[in-house]
Amino acid sequence: MFTTFFFWYCALVILGCGLLAISLRNPVHSVLSVLVLFFHLAGLYLLLQAEFLAAVQVIVYAGAILVLYLFVLFLINLKEELKLDAFVPGVKLGRGIAVGLFVLLLWALPSFTAGQHGQWTSKLIEENGHVQTLGLEIFTQYLLPFEIAGVILLMALIGGLVLAAKIDRPADNKTASVPEASGQQMEKHP
């Protein structure tokens, strides 16, 4: 009973915060509503008995990533919105497609049946502890995806630096100061 109530509470708050995040005009307010969203997402992890993931969710996403977003917002100090041409002519078409997708999911999802279970039962996880179980799986079975994710993060870092560096490098000029600075940061990463 309580878990059902708790699930619906979290789900509705997540939905509401998600809508607020994209509809609020002030970017700081948007980030704050995403913060609330992340806390309730952590609540969902708790419901699934994944305490470690819930803690990681709060520490990494709510604690680190959102603070980074806020820093970025304060640093670039956007006074007015940037506007791009819409891809789809008219907002109504986009909304129509979104509603259509929603109805489609409502129609299809009741027939969802859960598939086979893996080797880890919740009792076994309880016995071993979440961290150890997660570590075992990530560093054996899922080592390759884990490493690819690492490379993706490295790419994000290099990409961010390339986009943030102000100048296009001329042919045989001495290296400009900005790429030098980016180089030092890059070494710190791994």
CB of 51 to other proteins, least distance (A): 17
Q: Contact at 8 Å (CB) between 167 and 176?
A: yes
Q: Minimum Å distance from CB 175 to other proteins? A: 4
CB of 151 to other proteins, least distance (A): 6
Non-local CB neighbours of 161 within 8 Å, separated by 6+ positions: 182, 185, 186
Q: Which is nearer to other proteins, 3 or 118 (CB)?
A: 118
Task: Quote the CA–CA distance of 132 and 62 in Å, as a whole number.
Answer: 24
Q: Please identify, using beta-carbon distances, which residue of 63 and 128 lies nearer to other proteins.
A: 128
Nearer to other proteins, 5 or 183 (CB): 183
Residues whose CB falls within 8 Å of the CB of residue 119, separated by 6 or more in sequence, listed in order: none
Distance, in Å, from the CA atom of 73 to the CA atom of 31, rounded to the nearest integer, reads: 9
C-beta closer to other proteins: residue 26 or 173: 173
d(CA 104, CA 106): 5
Instruction: Catalog residues that contact other proteins under the rule CB under 8 A.
Output: 84, 87-88, 104-105, 107-109, 111-118, 127-129, 132, 136, 139-145, 148-149, 151-152, 155-156, 158-159, 162-163, 166-171, 174-175, 179, 183, 186
The answer to whether 60 and 52 have CB atoms below 8 angstroms apart is no
Q: Are 19 and 42 in contact (CB under 8 A)?
A: no
Instruction: Provide, rounded to whole angstroms, the least separation between the CB of residue 94 and other proteins.
Output: 11
Nearest residue (CB) to other proteins, 60 versus 135: 135
